[in-house]
């Protein structure tokens, strides 16, 4: 501030010559800044408390230089004046007097910007400090309370509609600053009568296609900033209207890709940190579009287009900005919701590795689990639904075991499960998303792990305690949507406690004694007296949930035979499950559980999660609960829980058969007549049976019978696949 004010004083002094304008002479005569600057230099932490009077004095000193008459007469003085306004405000904005001091300054700058008789350079220069001042809500509120506020907003809308004029972008920027703090301004600017939405979209498309020549300040991205306010920070009605704007998703993706190109290298360097801000705003707009049922399809199509947006989107997971990482991970999770998106992500090298790395980094850096971690885990879970999803699970197991039981990947998953019982996280949908992402990944990792890898997974500190606490919490929720989480938790708990595929396949098998690798899980069960009742209530439901079939039931029955579970039931009850999970969370979640949370980032994450429509994974028959692919006769291939239904032959497609329906089966199955597992129909020459490619032991007439029998077959199928992987 000292530098800016002294430069302005020097510029004014140069005007002290014969014929000096009276208004300049008056300003110079009162330009004694030394006492004010000394006060600023000697005050701890800037101008506070009583020193607010100094801020008022400086604002009063600057005010005469901002009149239209003065600027018209001495335009060369306006640039240092504008810089002095910005510097002074940035130092004094935390004082109590900032609004009343700088409200009149903002009003003067707005008048200058709207004065068409001034040059476009003066008007654009006025917009820069004006936007800085309007970032202070009190200052913007002071300006909007003025009698002329309504006409000023109308004038800004008119200026934003003047295509091709230099101040058009600045008008968008000023409108965005006002709309951010005032719902009425957002409503008026986004209304069909204002007709600004299609103009803003076209401006963004034009910027992406034709990079502006020469210097490009923050105001050059004014249309983007206004659409960001409309799409993420405005009232619901405005958000819905903005997200429905035709061509918005394509324009945002075009600009996102252009900003990362070599042609924009000089502009990125010029913008500096502001470039990161704009990328964050683009990703937040995209995330908002993907979260809305009205705009999800065009947004996904834009990201999956040949532009190559997915690799750049994945690269944003390494951004130093928390909100950028959060928006990028959410967008990737939404892309992975559909089969086309999963296919596209599988074609991007190291996509799953980038998501896993984002999980590890966010956890080790202490980031709130509700942000990047919850969305990255959700994206990885959805990748498991791909026909090659087992490769993702195997890669995650290798990464986790390489880190060890105390590693950040497993710590992140445990932290997500622990945090999901905290109602302060936000909506039930967000809690569900966190728990499901963590426990579904653990379930599949346990399913594909080798014996040595399983030993590492079972020794994660407090993992079983976190799952036991979450199980009791989620079992009490009266909703079918959350019940799939309960079933996952039961299966994971049983696997951690020692249930293997062989025991699961032999219903009624007695548990083996605790070993060194299962001791932690058994101890956690002994310390959770509520688990026994939770398991019995689960078994008492008639009928069990279709999604889990019988596997969760078998796991629950096995857990009830554990002496540790029975011993816990007989013990004196401990405090409520929330306390159990809270006690486990610091160890399981590591630094993430104690991380300070950015309120705005968490609010944005909650808004995104709340806007996501219910998907298959949140009730109904999910991709993970569908029957594996059927193969004709000796067809070969691999199918996991995540593979979609359908039939394929060894030749590569269709439901045709070579006629030999059993050439690849075992001797035991060859000895018994083959029949459809659903309807009992035997194989015929004209209609051979198709074999389940999961267990390679069950046969069906076709997809309809396979789907009908899947609730009964699922547990045995998964058990057979787990046994095959570990053999």
Instruction: Give, in order, the Cα–Cα distances in Å from 569 to each of 143, 480, 535, 565.
Output: 65, 26, 11, 6
Q: For residue 700, report the phi and psi dihedrals to the nearest 5 degrees.
A: -145, 160
Q: Give the ranges where 386-426 is alpha helix by DSSP (H).
A: 389-403, 408-419
Give pLDDT, residue 562.
92
Which tokens belong to 430? 């967000």
Give pLDDT, residue 139.
80
Sorted by sequence, the CB contacts under 8 Å of residue 262 that are 6+ apart come out as none
Sorted by sequence, the CB contacts under 8 Å of residue 215 that are 6+ apart come out as 270
- CB < 8 Å & 24+ apart, contacts of 98-101: 98/55, 98/136, 98/138, 98/139, 99/136, 99/138, 99/139, 99/141, 99/142, 100/56, 100/142, 101/52, 101/55, 101/56, 101/58, 101/59, 101/60
Is the distance from CB of 339 to CB of 566 less than 8 angstroms? no
Sorted by sequence, the CB contacts under 8 Å of residue 235 that are 6+ apart come out as 183, 186, 187
Strands 647-648 and 699-700, bridge-based pairing: unpaired
Give pLDDT, residue 279.
86
- 224 vs 221: CA distance, rounded Å: 5
Q: Give the ranges where 590-677 is alpha helix by DSSP (H).
A: 599-611, 667-671
Strands 647-648 and 690-692, bridge-based pairing: unpaired
Give pLDDT, residue 97.
52
- 102 vs 63: CA distance, rounded Å: 9
Give pLDDT, residue 335.
92
Query: How large is the angle between the packed helices 408-419 and 351-364, nearest 10 degrees?
Result: 70
Give pLDDT, residue 3.
64
Sorted by sequence, the CB contacts under 8 Å of residue 489 that are 6+ apart come out as 417, 435, 439, 467, 470, 471, 474
Give pLDDT, residue 261.
87
Give pLDDT, residue 79.
84
Give pLDDT, residue 196.
94
Give pLDDT, residue 721.
63
Give pLDDT, residue 656.
31
Which tokens belong to 169? 């972008």
Sorted by sequence, the CB contacts under 8 Å of residue 551 that are 6+ apart come out as 487, 491, 504, 714, 715, 718, 719
Instruction: Give, in order, the Cα–Cα distances in Å from 669 to each of 149, 185, 511.
Output: 82, 73, 29
Which tokens belong to 317? 């997971």
- 542 vs 553: CA distance, rounded Å: 11
Q: With H, G, I as helix, E, B as strand and everything else as coil, classify residue 379.
A: helix
Give pLDDT, residue 246.
92
Question: Which segments of the chain have a pLDDT < 50?
Answer: 16-18, 30-37, 39-51, 542, 544-548, 572-598, 600-602, 605, 608-626, 629, 632-672, 725-727
Count Cβ atoms below 10 Å from residue 286 Cβ, excluding itself: 29
Separation of CA 663 from chain center: 48
The reply to whether the predicted model has a pTM over 0.75 is: no
Give pLDDT, residue 147.
84
- 520 vs 456: CA distance, rounded Å: 12
* pLDDT per position as a tens digit, 666-677: 333 334 467 888
Residue 529's H or E segment, with its range, is: none
Rg (CA), the chain: 32
Q: Structural domain boundaries of the chain?
A: 381-618, 687-727
Which tokens belong to 519? 């001791």
């Amino acid at each position: 501030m000292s530098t800016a004010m002294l430069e302005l004083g020097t510029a004014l002094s140069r005007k002290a010559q014969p014929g000096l304008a009276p208004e300049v002479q008056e300003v110079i005569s009162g330009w004694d800044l030394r006492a004010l600057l000394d006060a600023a230099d000697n005050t701890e932490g800037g101008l506070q408390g009583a020193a607010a009077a100094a801020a008022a004095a400086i604002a009063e000193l600057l005010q005469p230089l901002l009149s239209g008459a003065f600027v018209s007469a001495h335009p060369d003085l306006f640039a240092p004046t504008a810089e002095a306004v910005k510097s002074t405000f940035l130092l004094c904005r935390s004082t109590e007097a900032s609004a009343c001091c700088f409200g009149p300054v903002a009003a003067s700058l707005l008048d200058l910007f709207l004065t068409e008789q001034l040059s476009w350079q003066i008007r654009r220069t006025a917009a820069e400090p004006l936007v800085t001042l309007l970032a202070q809500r009190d200052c913007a509120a002071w300006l909007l309370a003025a009698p002329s506020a309504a006409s000023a907003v109308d004038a800004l809308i008119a200026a934003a509609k003047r295509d091709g004029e230099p101040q058009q972008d600045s008008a968008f920027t000023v409108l965005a600053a006002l709309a951010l703090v005032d719902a009425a301004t957002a409503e008026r600017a986004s209304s069909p009568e204002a007709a600004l939405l299609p103009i803003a979209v076209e401006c963004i498309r034009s910027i992406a296609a034709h990079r502006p020549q020469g210097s490009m300040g923050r105001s050059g991205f004014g249309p983007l900033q206004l659409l960001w306010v409309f799409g993420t920070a405005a009232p619901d009605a405005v958000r819905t209207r903005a997200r429905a704007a035709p061509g918005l998703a394509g324009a945002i993706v075009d600009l996102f890709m252009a900003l990362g190109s070599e042609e924009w290298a000089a502009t990125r360097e010029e913008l500096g940190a502001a470039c990161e801000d704009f990328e964050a705003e683009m990703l937040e707009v995209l995330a908002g579009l993907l979260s809305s049922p009205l705009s999800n399809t065009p947004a996904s199509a834009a990201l999956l287009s040949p532009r190559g947006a997915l690799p750049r989107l994945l690269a944003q997971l390494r951004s130093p900005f928390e909100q950028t990482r959060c928006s990028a991970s959410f967008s990737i999770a939404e892309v992975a919701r559909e089969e086309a998106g999963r296919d596209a992500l599988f074609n991007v090298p190291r996509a799953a590795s980038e998501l896993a790395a984002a999980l590890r980094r966010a956890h080790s850096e202490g980031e709130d689990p509700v942000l990047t971690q919850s969305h990255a885990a959700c994206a990885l879970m959805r990748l498991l639904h791909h026909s090659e999803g087992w490769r993702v699970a195997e890669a995650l197991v290798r990464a986790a075991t390489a880190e060890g039981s105390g590693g950040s990947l497993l710590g992140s998953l445990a932290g997500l499960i622990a945090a999901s019982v905290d109602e302060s996280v936000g909506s039930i949908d967000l809690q569900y998303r966190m728990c499901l992402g963590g426990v579904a990944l653990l379930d599949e990792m346990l399913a594909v792990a080798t014996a040595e890898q399983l030993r590492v997974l079972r020794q994660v500190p407090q993992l079983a305690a976190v799952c036991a606490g979450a199980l009791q919490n989620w079992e009490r929720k009266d909703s079918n949507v959350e019940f799939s989480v309960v079933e996952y938790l039961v299966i994971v708990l049983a696997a951690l406690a020692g249930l293997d595929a062989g025991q699961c396949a032999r219903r009624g098998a007695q548990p083996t004694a605790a070993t060194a690798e299962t001791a932690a899980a058994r101890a956690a069960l002994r310390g959770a007296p509520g688990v026994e009742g939770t398991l019995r209530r689960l078994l008492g439901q008639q009928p069990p949930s279709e999604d889990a079939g019988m596997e969760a039931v078998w796991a629950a029955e096995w857990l009830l035979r554990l002496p540790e579970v029975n011993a816990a039931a007989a013990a004196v009850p401990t405090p409520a499950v929330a306390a159990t999970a809270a006690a486990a969370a610091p160890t399981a979640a590591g630094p993430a559980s104690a991380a300070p949370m950015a309120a705005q980032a968490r609010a944005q994450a909650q808004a995104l999660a709340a806007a996501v429509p219910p998907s298959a994974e949140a009730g109904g028959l999910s991709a993970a609960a569908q029957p594996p692919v059927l193969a004709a006769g000796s067809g070969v291939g691999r199918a996991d829980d995540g593979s979609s239904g359908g039939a394929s032959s060894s030749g590569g497609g269709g439901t045709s058969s070579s006629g030999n329906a059993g050439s690849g089966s075992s001797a035991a199955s060859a000895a018994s007549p083959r029949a459809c597992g659903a309807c009992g129909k035997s194989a015929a020459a004209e209609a051979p049976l198709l074999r389940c490619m999961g267990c390679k032991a069950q046969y069906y007439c076709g997809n309809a019978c396979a789907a009908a029998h899947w609730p009964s077959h699922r547990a045995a199928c998964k058990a057979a696949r787990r046994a095959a992987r570990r053999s």
